[in-house]
């Protein structure tokens, strides 16, 4: 595993999120019922959710598993930016499915992000993005608060994409 660009590997699994980082916590209701939960969990763990937002995903595994290497990229031609991550934990449980990945050298940020689908007792299905990060490269430092706004916007976009995928 690794080398990760941060020491708190696995902190998004159970928390608490470590001090000294920006924290992101976004939750969205996806729908209701076991079928929605199963579809949403599959979309999260097979990279379909990320791809549905227009992000290019290259992974050495068709599904999230600890140790899987993932490269996410966005943009066109020389303006395409890539971010390398490694899956650090997964959850394939009756009422919880998801994973967390951590940043590798060269990633614009330093930290960890998780994507989890929960089936609650009332039958509702919820999606949660949880992350802690700090600037990892000069250009993310130069962008300052804009990075935080983009991270929040991307988390909301993931929730909308997952809702569509789970309903299909």
Q: What would the DSSP string read from start to end of 38-71?
A: HHHHHHHHTSHHHHTTT-EEEESSSS--TT-EEE
Query: 133, 109 in Cβ contact below 8 A?
Result: yes
Q: What is the pLDDT of residue 76?
A: 58
Q: In terms of DSSP H, where are the helices of the chain?
A: 11-14, 34-45, 48-51, 138-143, 145-167
Task: Give the pLDDT confidence score for residue 149 in this predicted structure.
Answer: 63
Longest dimension (CA), the chain: 48
Provide the whole-model pTM. 0.90
Phi, psi of 26 (to 5 degrees): -125, 130
pLDDT at 40: 98
For residue 1, pLDDT over 80 is answered with: no
Q: CA 45 to CA 38: how far, in whole Å?
A: 11
Name the pLDDT band for 136 (thresholds 50, 70, 90): low
């Amino acid at each position: 595993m690794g080398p990760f660009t941060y020491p708190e590997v696995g902190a998004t699994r159970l928390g608490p999120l470590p001090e000294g980082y920006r924290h992101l916590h976004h939750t969205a209701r996806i729908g209701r019922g076991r079928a929605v939960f199963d579809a949403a969990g599959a979309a999260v763990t097979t990279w379909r959710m990320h791809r549905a937002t227009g992000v290019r995903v290259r992974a050495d595994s068709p599904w999230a598993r600890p140790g899987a290497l993932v490269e996410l990229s966005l943009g066109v031609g020389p303006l395409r930016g890539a971010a390398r991550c490694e899956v650090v934990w997964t959850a394939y449980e009756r009422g919880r499915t998801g994973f967390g990945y951590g940043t590798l050298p060269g990633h614009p940020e330093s930290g960890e992000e998780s994507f989890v689908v929960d089936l609650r007792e009332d039958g509702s299905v919820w999606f949660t993005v949880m992350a802690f990060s700090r600037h990892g490269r000069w250009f993310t430092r130069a962008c300052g608060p804009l990075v935080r706004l983009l991270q929040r916007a991307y988390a909301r976009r993931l929730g909308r994409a997952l809702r569509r995928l789970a309903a299909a």
